[in-house]
Structure 1
Amino acid sequence: MSFAVLRLAAPLAFVLAAFPAMAGAPVWKVDRASSELAFTAVQAGAPVEGRFEDWTAEISFDPAAPETARIRTTVNVASARTGQAQIDGTLPSDTWFDAPAFPEAVFEARGATVTGEGSYEAAGTLTIKGVSVPVSLPFALEIDGDTATAAGKLELSRDAWKIGAGIPEGTVATAVSVSFRITATR
């Protein structure tokens, strides 16, 4: 073996030895029929509940090595539905999600930390309307054989992504609650 090949092989061998759990972390396939990505906003003092109908999640997670987790969720922002025609028609507009220019929101995390028995937090980045903001996603996880159920909720400020920019707090609250319930199999 030549010296040049050894120089390239040694760092590769080190990386593979240092991160063996990454290669073995189970990949989970989300069961969309029993999963939900929802949100709650407040308009004129009343809660408005909705969900995203079109989204995907790529999840690689091993509870024995949560630091190796890889999570990527892609959401079609035009698929937001509240059941209220006026709101549903307004959300894709440029004032809100600007779906024609930015059709997808993406959450990406590399690694998670244990926060308690069956509880974790994934630090990642949420990109909406081309603006990327660090967020921490807390979630509870139960695994029964080859089926996992995860649920979590976080509060976001729509101002961070200029969603509804210029809309006063009294009309639509700045805080938006996002929740999810996911069932997946490996």
Structure 2
Amino acid sequence: MKTLRPTLILALLAGLTTGAAHAADFTQVLTDKSSLAFTSKQMGVPVDGLFRKFSAQLAFDPAKPATASTVLEIDLASIDAGSKDANEEVVGKQWFNVKAFPTARFVSTAVKAVGGGRYEVSGKMTIKGQTHDVVAPFTFRQDGANGVFDGGFVLKRMDFGIGEGPWSDVSAVANEIQIKFHVVAAPAPAKK
């Protein structure tokens, strides 16, 4: 009987954990608690920045990651590249050309679990009219009622024509830009 109790307790705990995972479908991105940041290298020196405005549509159930989807739209004019001069430069024609292309867009095509609370989202990133495949590993955890997604990927700026003309010299500004995201999402409202 004593050996049965720990087994029974473990089975109950597993059932509770599984039930909690099935109960939540995270759909409401809390942009005020989320962030979209990047690190580029200029002359080998890391420079951090972020985008202040973005919106996202999300559907993620940790019990069914293959059914997940997301659409992210980034207001490119909301960039904070570290200084007023840099902000003015990067919205111009040679960089983001925000007059012609005001937003960047990511649309997921697949999400898969890779184990241990880790996942991978694949999708199409469009910047300046150029679309390329992106794969971003991320972690997911619950924080109270909310879900927290942390991840990132390397974006090659020249694939999208970000930094044309004299800025296409990747020895001055590196081609690889590390993108980091922290997304907090609330569960879908309860159905009545």
What's 2:49 paired with? Answer: 50
Question: How big is each residue's C-alpha offset from its partner over 1:29-78, in whole Å with a ceiling of 9 and x where there is no partner?
Answer: 12222211001111122111100001011100111111111100000111
**Separation in 2, partners of 1:31, 1:65:** 21
What's 2:117 paired with? Answer: 118
What's 2:183 paired with? Answer: 182
Shift of 1:183: 1.1
**Separation in 1, partners of 2:68, 2:171:** 39
- The answer as to whether partners of 2:35 and 2:181 remain within 8 angstroms in 1 is yes
- The answer as to whether partners of 1:125 and 1:133 remain within 8 angstroms in 2 is yes
Shift of 1:117: 1.0
Letter in 2 for 1:101: A
What's 1:108 paired with? Answer: 107
- The answer as to whether partners of 1:26 and 1:62 remain within 8 angstroms in 2 is yes
What's 2:138 paired with? Answer: 139
Give the TM-score, by structure 1 length: 0.83
**Separation in 2, partners of 1:52, 1:144:** 24
**Separation in 2, partners of 1:122, 1:114:** 9
Aligned residues: percent identity?
A: 34
* Root-mean-square deviation over aligned CA pairs: 1.5
Letter in 2 for 1:176: I
Shift of 1:133: 0.3
- The answer as to whether partners of 1:25 and 1:60 remain within 8 angstroms in 2 is no
Unaligned runs of 5+ in 2: 1-22, 188-192
**Separation in 2, partners of 1:53, 1:126:** 19
Give secondary structure in 2 for the equivalent of 1:111: strand
What's 1:20 paired with? Answer: none
Question: How big is each residue's C-alpha offset from its partner over 1:130-170, in whole Å with a ceiling of 9 and x where there is no partner?
Answer: 11101111110002453101100111110110100232112
Q: Structure 1 stretch 87-96 or stretch 77-86: which is displaced more?
A: 77-86
**Separation in 2, partners of 1:57, 1:39:** 18
Query: How many corresponding residue pairs?
Result: 163
Letter in 1 for 2:152: K
Q: Structure 1 stretch 128-137 or stretch 144-153: which is displaced more?
A: 144-153
Give the TM-score, by structure 2 length: 0.81
Unaligned runs of 5+ in 1: 1-23
Q: Does 1:70 align with 2:69?
A: yes
